[in-house]
Structure 1
Amino acid sequence: MGYGRSGILLIALFVSVQGSVTDKLKFDEALLTVSNYLTEPILLLYVSDYCYQCLPQPLLTLPSGPGTQPVNSSIIVSSRYALSVQVVSNSGNMTPLCSWEHLYEEHGHYLISVHYLLSEQNTRRVLCQETVTRPPTNCYLPLLVAFVILVGVCGLYHLSVYISRLACFRRLQQYLCKRLSFFSKHVETSEDNCGEQSKVPESRRLYSLDTFRGFSLTIMVFVNYGGGGYWFFEHAPWNGLTVADLVMPWFVFIIGTSVALAFNAMLKRGLSRCQLLYKLTWRTCILFAIGVFFLNYGPADGPLSWRWARIPGVLQRLGFTYFVIALLHTCFHKVQLGHGESHQWSAAVRDIVLYWPEWIFIIALETISLCLTFLLPVPGCPTGYLGPGGIGHYGKYPNCTGGAAGYIDKWILGAEHIYQNPTCKELYKTTQPFDPEGILGTINSVLIAFFGLQAGKIILIYRKYPLSILKRFLCWAILLGIISAILTKCTRDEGFIPINKNLWSLSFITTLSCFSFLLLGLMFYVIDVKHWWQGQPFIYPGMNSIFVYVGHSILATYFPFQWEMKYWMSHYELFIQNLLGTSIWLCVSYVLFKKKFFLKI
């Protein structure tokens, strides 16, 4: 069925004003115009497809059309997630007249015509017809441009390395070096200074671990600065995973691996367990102090007030996790680990059997966490609730955000001292504060650090057999992946324990530990076994992680890391701003590396 003359005039009028309306659209926004041809008022309700079991929310209200002329109204909608829209009568009958599901793409203009359709039996039904009056823009072009530039830079770097290794280039380098040495009156010029350098003994340092840490930190800086405004560079509203959800667990995993390697080296150098206890306690206190007094507040927050001061935080969680894992490993560490390759059956589980007290402690700790999560009575909420509250679960539990995790934080820390703007607030319309660095989640962060500790033990026990390290990493990744599949039923929301970064759920821990074993194993093979890559540029921030993390957090609102945006029409300017800020910290960490400055706590 066509629009008729009035519909054609409407589209023409709509197209004529597109320019002025488009100027008001920012990135991740589209324009939706609805024309009501019906003789009754209508109400549009919507549900975001990312919002699990959510109550429909009002989107637009239109009165009945006067005669043959429609009533028109426009609204700006989000283009991040697909929307399910229903048209119902605004006269009290909530039966859907028509419905549709659509992902409205960035800067697209869409016209929905709601009118009657006569059938051959002369019965009327309502038809909702959609027309795209302005095509959407490609919001992923900035990513493509950045990728092409990155590939070009990497290509030029590898080309320069290849040229520098050519025989003719080496002869030219030797000739120039000798000439410069002659003019500088350096009579004794060794070959080490002019080309053919003697081999330096390989360091026992695990460069893949530094690279993994730097890789995680680089992504963390980028997503903390905004990630170009892309939804997948921001934290998931509740269940599910995005790129931003990966980096913090990776960092916690690396803490555990670093504890195994560093404490083994310090004990071999003769440090006593009491000295280790002093060092780990001091480091924990410093991390807590930096997190509470520097990173939770900024110039825009005004004078610090205990009335609203937030107690949890990223560094606080890292400090507590480090303290528990380091204290546990200090108490039960074995200095003489022996060789990992053996024909005895016990060799297959050597890295587990040697540390059975640690396993008992971790299993007991996780059991306590699960019991609190699923058995603790929460006033006004179902026992074991893991949802976001608000309009989720059809609005049955609006004040139950986070279930037992949120209740424990508010009970122990106070509602004013936890995070007031959780990621679920916008999508699920929640009103309760909830802290993603809360108490129960911190207990689970100890578990992922323990898996990292296990990776460090594997490296120490099988250090002479790289293939055995890779095999055991793969076995752990497969085992944890199977556990995740069972817990989640391979779905985002329907599993026994969904993947949830806000709660740091058990499935989130097993999934990210699986990824960590795979990624660390890949880097270990490429960097430390085959020496195909030296870890640049990620190895530089990886060796100065505390400096980069604290620095990027404190200076985030200052130029050149942030400036007043002029072009909100696309992701380009914000993406460039965030890439520039991240690149600056990579350059700073490189300069510090060349100056041999490494901030340690």
Structure 2
Amino acid sequence: MGSACLTCASTYCLFLVSALSLVLLVSSSALATHHGDSPSRRSPKLKMDQAVLLIHNEIHEKFYIYWRSDQCYQCLFQTLSVTSPTKGRDTEMAIVDTRHAITLQLNNTSNVELCRVHYRFREFGNYSLWVKSNYSGTKDVTCGIIINYNPGYTNFPIVIAAFVYVAIFIVLTVGSFLLRWSPVKNWLCKQINPTETDRLINSELGSPSRADLCSQDAHLATWTTVPQRLRSLDTFRGLALMIMVFVNYGGGGYWFFKHQSWNGLTLADLVFPWFVFIMGTSIHLSLNSMLRKGNSRWKLFWKVLWRSIQLFLIGIFVINENYCRSPLSWSDIRIMGVLQRLSLTYLVVSVLELLFTKPLPDALPQNRTCFLMQDVVMFWPQWLIILALEAAWLCLTLLLPVPECPTGYLGPGGIGDLGKYPNCTGGAAGYIDRLVLGENHIYQHPSSNVIYKTTVPYDPEGILGTLNSIVMAFLGLQAGKVLVFYKNQHKQIMVRFFTWSVVMGVISAILTKCSMNEGFIPVNKNLWSISYVTTLSCFAFFLLLIIYFLVDVKRYWKGAPFFYPGMNSILVYVGHEVFENYFPFKWKMQDSQSHAQHLTQNLVATSIWVLIAYILYKKKIFWKI
């Protein structure tokens, strides 16, 4: 029966990948056909996040067109086009950005503003900007935008993909229900092994072990006799990991599946801190268990140190962007990175646990509600160190003098802040990395150069931000303490998770003033600002509450399919990075500017890693370091 279930589940996963590929490829062809004869796709050849703007000059004078994205906070206007009518030709063509609404400003040769237009262009569209003059004593210039060609709904492939996943989820849910329904279950068991089933029916004694395999009681027994490992934690980790894989593979080419240029959040900005958070939760559960078994702290320390070194070395030598360009070069190797930050965070938080934590026994008093803060007060030395680390981050960020930059600068540099500080990207965080690691050994293409046009390298996984990564992991560690301290008290655990979520949310609201750019410390993934940590911790506690309720309390959901990659997270992460450019994870597309084809490729690759994780789980193969 188990092998049959394995076959069925594998078939379902393969069906998911195949159906998704087929549907999205069909939609990709339809979209390509729809766009094939459109003016926006014929001349010029547009890239994703672009549209054509035809400029009709009816004032017959030379003027300049500047533009600025709404996403670019306090930015300089950039030159879009210079229109100078010659020989009766009064029409020019420009390419405009479609990721966010933009403001167009027209100035004459004396740099006097003629008019201004605010508009949200749609991807692959074709538009006309008409510049006209009215004469009523003084010259009055008016500007207006009309649509020549309105493109199709470029987010349609996402809708199709969502529909396919929901449909498959419904099929699996209905199938699971039918398998638990006695008539279907008995028929299925008979079809799988009719001889054995007939023998059981005709025998007075039967075979209890075989009968249990086809009974609901056996299903429940399998579920309840699994060791004390919480499936919700692996489900949470797997969810974060799969979003990370999808984003790293390109996210279908959609800008909202990529990292935010500076302040604010996108889907891509959620997953890494969630991974750090759940790592902290696992640290407490793991070390508490091993200390209760009598393992010495020194032995555990060396184990933690060795694992941290392994993670750091894998990040440098295995997952390194140098390999995309040429063989490994010591002159420009990136020292920090995702796994490097994970290794340092893991080391510090684990050492804190080994120094101060006293293992809690399995059997704790059931009534501990009178001491609401006891799970915090008991670990006050750790909290003092974490608060000291946060104080260090605040002091270095806000008080460290940075040459040619304002003290406490949190901006992106480039054209931001009206271009006053073009080389101050990241303020103290960028300065410390350049000073300690050197410009050649930090990330060369930060997300800030997309909108803010920055030119200096900046590493989002740099040294200073690692302090707040430790804080994030420690908050996850606190979630682990809640699970241990209130073991088997589901209501208390969920109340504590909800309370922590509210507290973190209130702190974020104060720090950011509930705004993207106007707060004391904005939410910023590149800086790993404290408001970024509290905001993502707020989300993490609440999401963990929901998953814990569904998976471990009510058992409405087993955590599939995220549970499986969550059980093999290091293997999946390293594997998806190493084999990113290999088939079947990537192939040559007919149209490299098609969201449908990119989304097909990225979702298929992500689904394949889920399938790989599922097979490894069934084979009991887990890569631990």
Which range, TM-score by smaller chain?
over 0.9
Indicate the SS of the match to 2:372: helix
- Find out whether 1:87 has 2:112 as its counterpart: no
Q: What is the identity, as a one-letter code, of the residue corresponding to 1:155?
A: I
- Find out whether 1:41 has 2:62 as its counterpart: yes
- Find out whether 1:487 has 2:511 as its counterpart: yes
Provide the C-alpha distance between the structure 1 equivalents of 2:155 and 2:369, rounded to a whole number of angstroms. Answer: 55
Offset of residue 19 of structure 1: 6.6
* Higher mean displacement: 557-566 or 471-480: 557-566
- Aligned with 1:151 (options 163, 166, 174): 166
Could you tell me the percent identity over the aligned residues? 47
Offset of residue 182 of structure 1: 7.6
Provide the C-alpha distance between the structure 1 equivalents of 2:41 and 2:392, rounded to a whole number of angstroms. Answer: 59
Q: What is the identity, as a one-letter code, of the residue corresponding to 1:101?
A: H
- Aligned with 1:60 (options 76, 81, 88): 81
Q: Deviations over 1:522-548 (max 9, x none)?
A: 101110000000000000000000000
Whether the 8 Å contact between 1:23 and 1:569 is mirrored in structure 2 is: no
Equivalence for 1:448: 472
Q: 1:496 to 1:341 in 2, by over 3 A?
A: farther
Q: Deviations over 1:19-59 (max 9, x none)?
A: 76357123321100101122321100001110000000100
- Find out whether 1:192 has 2:209 as its counterpart: yes
Provide the C-alpha distance between the structure 2 equivalents of 1:554 and 1:114, rounded to a whole number of angstroms. Answer: 52
- Find out whether 1:475 has 2:499 as its counterpart: yes
* Higher mean displacement: 43-52 or 425-434: 425-434
Whether the 8 Å contact between 1:178 and 1:189 is mirrored in structure 2 is: no
Provide the C-alpha distance between the structure 1 equivalents of 2:323 and 2:54, rounded to a whole number of angstroms. Answer: 42
Please, which runs of 5 or more residues in structure 1 have no aligned partner?
A: 1-15
Whether the 8 Å contact between 1:35 and 1:114 is mirrored in structure 2 is: yes
- Find out whether 1:141 has 2:163 as its counterpart: no
- Find out whether 1:112 has 2:129 as its counterpart: yes
Offset of residue 100 of structure 1: 0.6
Whether the 8 Å contact between 2:282 and 2:477 is mirrored in structure 1 is: yes
Q: 1:56 to 1:167 in 2, by over 3 A?
A: same
* Higher mean displacement: 453-462 or 73-82: 73-82
Spell out the pairing of 1:246-285 with structure 2 (5 A cutoff).
246-285=270-309
Provide the C-alpha distance between the structure 2 equivalents of 1:84 and 1:152, rounded to a whole number of angstroms. Answer: 41
Equivalence for 2:10: none
Provide the C-alpha distance between the structure 1 equivalents of 2:188 and 2:416, rounded to a whole number of angstroms. Answer: 68
Provide the C-alpha distance between the structure 2 equivalents of 1:316 and 1:17, rounded to a whole number of angstroms. Answer: 47
Offset of residue 176 of structure 1: 3.8
Equivalence for 2:392: 368
Indicate the SS of the match to 2:407: coil
Q: Deviations over 1:455-509 (max 9, x none)?
A: 0000000012110011011111101100000100111011100000000000000
Provide the C-alpha distance between the structure 2 equivalents of 1:220 and 1:94, rounded to a whole number of angstroms. Answer: 46
Q: 1:20 to 1:226 in 2, by over 3 A?
A: closer
Q: 1:483 to 1:75 in 2, by over 3 A?
A: same
- Aligned with 1:514 (options 538, 546, 560): 538
Spell out the pairing of 1:6-25 with structure 2 (5 A cutoff).
18=39, 21=42, 24-25=45-46
Q: What is the identity, as a one-letter code, of the residue corresponding to 1:206?
A: L
- Find out whether 1:71 has 2:95 as its counterpart: no
Equivalence for 2:605: 581
Q: What is the identity, as a one-letter code, of the residue corresponding to 2:75?
A: C
Q: Deviations over 1:542-568 (max 9, x none)?
A: 000000000000011112211222213
Equivalence for 2:456: 432
Indicate the SS of the match to 1:129: strand
Q: What is the identity, as a one-letter code, of the residue corresponding to 1:426?
A: V
Equivalence for 1:5: none
Provide the C-alpha distance between the structure 1 equivalents of 2:376 and 2:113, rounded to a whole number of angstroms. Answer: 59
Q: What is the identity, as a one-letter code, of the residue corresponding to 2:121?
A: Y
Q: Deviations over 1:551-588 (max 9, x none)?
A: 00001111221122221343100000000110110000
- Aligned with 1:399 (options 416, 420, 423): 423
Indicate the SS of the match to 2:209: helix
Indicate the SS of the match to 1:295: coil
- Find out whether 1:31 has 2:56 as its counterpart: no
Q: What is the identity, as a one-letter code, of the residue corresponding to 2:435?
A: W
Q: 1:167 to 1:182 in 2, by over 3 A?
A: closer
- Aligned with 2:187 (options 137, 161, 172): 172
- Find out whether 1:99 has 2:123 as its counterpart: no
Q: What is the identity, as a one-letter code, of the residue corresponding to 1:25?
A: L
Spell out the pairing of 1:238-253 with structure 2 (5 A cutoff).
238-253=262-277
Q: What is the identity, as a one-letter code, of the residue corresponding to 2:156?
A: L
Q: Deviations over 1:134-155 (max 9, x none)?
A: 1122111001100111111011
Q: Deviations over 1:82-139 (max 9, x none)?
A: 11110101x2x222101111111011110111121234xx432101122211112211
TM-score, normalised to structure 1, is: 0.93
Equivalence for 1:127: 142
Q: 1:182 to 1:216 in 2, by over 3 A?
A: closer
Provide the C-alpha distance between the structure 2 equivalents of 1:236 and 1:555, rounded to a whole number of angstroms. Answer: 26
Q: How many residues align?
A: 579
Whether the 8 Å contact between 1:387 and 1:401 is mirrored in structure 2 is: yes
- Find out whether 1:523 has 2:534 as its counterpart: no
- Aligned with 1:210 (options 234, 238, 248): 234
* Higher mean displacement: 434-443 or 32-41: 32-41
* Higher mean displacement: 356-365 or 329-338: 329-338
- Aligned with 1:181 (options 167, 187, 196): 196
